[in-house]
């Protein structure tokens, strides 16, 4: 570690995209469905009847699946089956061969099969046919019983359907032939399941350049929180990637500016100096990995590093145009030295290269020039609170902070893989490293792997990366100096 004037050491390692829950749980990508052969002219009636009888799952509209399919378009296994059952329209032993039929899909949540059979019995090909002249009237008057037993069963089939839309036209084609006719919509296809590959790849390339530096700084912020006994050794750094990717001159000053360029704010955990905490270290200093959460000894999620950095940015934006010197008392807990330094450090590398001509010591009597007082864009510059910003973290954030990241609309979040926590909200699967370190023991709760960064249920999705440090390859759980050891606490 260096002193305040020195360079921040880069971590050694590389980033990898975190997979989404939909990518890591392929077993939930398919479901069973019923297929019912009905008279073609009853399709509209059957559609209405099914909709009014069986509730739909609004989270699974299955808009990529065809609701009614003609025999010629059925997947192979169903064609073979109806041939064996003798219900094919081309089959000679089908007494109803002259009745045009169509196949209806009954999607999950699946009704009781006996109930479905009773409901749709009047519409299968062998049921008594209404007179072509007055369909509804004749149907009411008919006394003939709809088919039952084996003569009914042969019109009910099952198939497997893909729960999620296909990711490509080729996949749609494959599913149409093997499962059920499936439509492909390029615009909708992958977005709810995982980041579109071109976007993910471009972001990964962009983030990979400086992730090691920003995470090095996050570790330093974490150490500060720990050393000053403000909180656990957890740190975050918020970066504006548009500024971070600008390149500047080669002088020492310019190099330092370049290294720090784009850093919007940093924050450490502050749960032990939260408002109202009387004896913070009483229970926590001795056992830093203690599992229990005691509200008398530590603040809640609002004192976690993520929530604090988001609040700093919110306060800055609210106080647009006010001199930085008047902001200090708005922060509770007060800012740490590193936090103040990065929040109020002149962002001289921000908008254009001509700014390099300005005097290096900016005067505090010029509060209207926001780039000299804060790195945070004013509200007038548009965007939501953290739109297009990236966040780098020493640990995997808790559920509350994970949601905070999404609600603030960050572009991407990157955390140290060795900072994975059982209480985390972002990972979607175990890693060999994480499992080695956290051998499940009796009484220890399992990680639920929420993968919150990209969930189709949520209205904002962020890309997520893990930084895998080189030492991880040997299975060694080295923790950066000052960073909190992984445990059952929340970060
Ligand atoms: Zn948290």
Per-residue pLDDT of 249-285, as tens digits, reads 556 666 666 667 789 999 999 999 988 887 655 544 4
pLDDT at position 27 is 54
- Residue 332: CB atoms within 10 A of its CB come to 12
How far, in Å, from the CA of 410 to the mean position of ligand 1? 16
For residue 186, is pLDDT > 80?
Answer: no
How far, in Å, from the CA of 398 to the mean position of ligand 1? 4
| Among the ranges given (194-208, 318-332, 365-379, 392-406), the one the predictor scored with the smallest mean pLDDT | 365-379
How far, in Å, from the CA of 433 to the mean position of ligand 1? 22
Kindly report, residue by residue over 368-415, the tens digit of the pLDDT. 343 445 566 666 666 678 888 999 999 999 999 999 999 999 999 999
Q: What's the predicted TM-score (pTM) here? A: 0.65
How far, in Å, from the CA of 222 to the mean position of ligand 1? 14
What would the mean pLDDT of 463-481 be, rounded to a whole number?
Answer: 75
For residue 446, is pLDDT > 80?
Answer: no
What would the mean pLDDT of 40-60 be, rounded to a whole number?
Answer: 92
Contacts of 351 (CB under 8 A, 6+ apart): 371
Which pLDDT band holds residue 46 (cuts at 50, 70, 90)?
very high
How far, in Å, from the CA of 115 to the mean position of ligand 1? 48
How far, in Å, from the CA of 441 to the mean position of ligand 1? 24
How far, in Å, from the CA of 383 to the mean position of ligand 1? 24
Tokens of 75: 């997947």
- Give the Cα separation of 47 and 320 in Å (integer): 57
How far, in Å, from the CA of 491 to the mean position of ligand 1? 4
Cross-sheet strand order for the sheet of 30-39? 68-69, 101-106, 30-39, 156-162
Q: Helix 305-318 and helix 337-344: axis angle, to 10°?
A: 40
How far, in Å, from the CA of 403 to the mean position of ligand 1? 9
- Give the Cα separation of 165 and 184 in Å (integer): 7
Instruction: Say what percent of the chain tops pLDDT 70.
Output: 72
What would the mean pLDDT of 287-293 be, rounded to a whole number?
Answer: 54
Can you say whether residue 153 is alpha, beta or left, with left for phi > 0 and alpha for psi between -120 and 50 degrees?
Answer: alpha
How far, in Å, from the CA of 199 to the mean position of ligand 1? 27
How far, in Å, from the CA of 104 to the mean position of ligand 1? 48
For residue 314, is pLDDT > 60?
Answer: yes
| Among the ranges given (3-17, 135-149, 215-229), the one the predictor scored with the smallest mean pLDDT | 135-149
How far, in Å, from the CA of 82 to the mean position of ligand 1? 56
For residue 461, is pLDDT > 90?
Answer: yes
How far, in Å, from the CA of 453 to the mean position of ligand 1? 14
Report the candidate in 11, 52, 3 with the shortest Cα–Cα distance to residue 417. Answer: 11
pLDDT at position 453 is 97
Contacts of 71 (CB under 8 A, 6+ apart): 79, 82, 88, 89, 90, 101, 102, 103
How far, in Å, from the CA of 395 to the mean position of ligand 1? 10
Which pLDDT band holds residue 49 (cuts at 50, 70, 90)?
very high
How far, in Å, from the CA of 184 to the mean position of ligand 1? 39
């Amino acid at each position: 570690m260096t002193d305040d004037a020195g360079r921040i050491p880069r971590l050694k390692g590389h980033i990898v995209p975190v997979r989404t829950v939909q990518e890591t749980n392929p077993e939930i990508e398919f479901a069973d469905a019923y297929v019912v052969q009905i008279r073609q002219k009853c399709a509209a009636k059957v559609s209405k009847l099914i909709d009014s009888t069986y509730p739909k799952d609004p989270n699974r509209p299955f808009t990529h699946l065809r609701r009614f399919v003609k025999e010629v378009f059925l997947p192979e296994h169903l064609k073979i089956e109806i041939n064996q059952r003798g219900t094919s329209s081309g089959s000679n032993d089908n007494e109803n061969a002259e009745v045009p039929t169509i196949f209806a899909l009954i999607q999950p949540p699946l009704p009781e099969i006996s109930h479905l059979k009773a409901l749709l019995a009047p519409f299968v090909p062998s049921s008594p046919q209404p007179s072509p002249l007055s369909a509804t009237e004749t149907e009411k008057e008919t006394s003939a019983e709809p088919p039952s037993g084996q003569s009914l069963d042969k019109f009910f089939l099952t198939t497997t359907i893909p729960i999620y839309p296909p990711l490509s036209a080729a996949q749609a084609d494959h599913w149409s032939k093997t499962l059920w006719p499936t439509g492909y919509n390029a615009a909708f296809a992958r977005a709810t399941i995982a980041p579109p590959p071109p976007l993910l790849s471009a972001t990964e390339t962009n983030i990979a350049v400086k992730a090691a530096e920003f995470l090095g700084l996050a570790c330093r912020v974490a150490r500060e929180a720990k050393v000053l006994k403000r909180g656990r050794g957890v740190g975050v750094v918020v970066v504006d990637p548009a500024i971070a990717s600008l390149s500047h001159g080669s002088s020492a000053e310019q190099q330092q500016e370049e290294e720090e360029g784009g850093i919007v704010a940093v924050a450490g955990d502050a749960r032990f100096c939260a408002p109202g905490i009387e004896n913070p270290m009483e229970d926590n200093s001795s056992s830093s990995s203690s599992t229990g959460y005691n509200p008398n000894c530590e603040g809640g999620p609002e004192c976690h590093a993520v929530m604090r950095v988001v609040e700093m940015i919110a306060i800055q934006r609210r106080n647009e145009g006010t001199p930085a010197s008047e902001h200090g008392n708005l922060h509770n807990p007060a800012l740490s030295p590193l936090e103040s330094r990065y929040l109020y450090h002149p962002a001289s590398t921000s908008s254009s290269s001509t700014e390099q001509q300005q005097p290096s010591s900016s005067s505090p009597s010029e509060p209207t020039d926001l780039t000299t007082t804060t790195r945070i864009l004013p509200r007038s510059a548009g965007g939501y609170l953290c739109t297009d910003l990236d966040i780098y973290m020493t640990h995997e954030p808790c559920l509350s902070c994970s949601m905070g990241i999404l609600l603030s609309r960050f572009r991407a979040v990157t955390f140290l893989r060795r900072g994975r926590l059982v209480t985390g909200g972002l990972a979607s699967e175990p890693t060999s490293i994480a499992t080695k370190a956290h051998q499940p023991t009796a009484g220890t709760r399992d990680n639920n792997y929420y993968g919150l960064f990209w969930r189709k249920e949520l209205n904002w999705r962020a890309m997520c990366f893990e930084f895998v440090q080189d030492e991880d390859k040997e299975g060694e759980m080295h923790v950066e100096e000052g960073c909190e050891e992984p445990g059952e606490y929340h970060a």
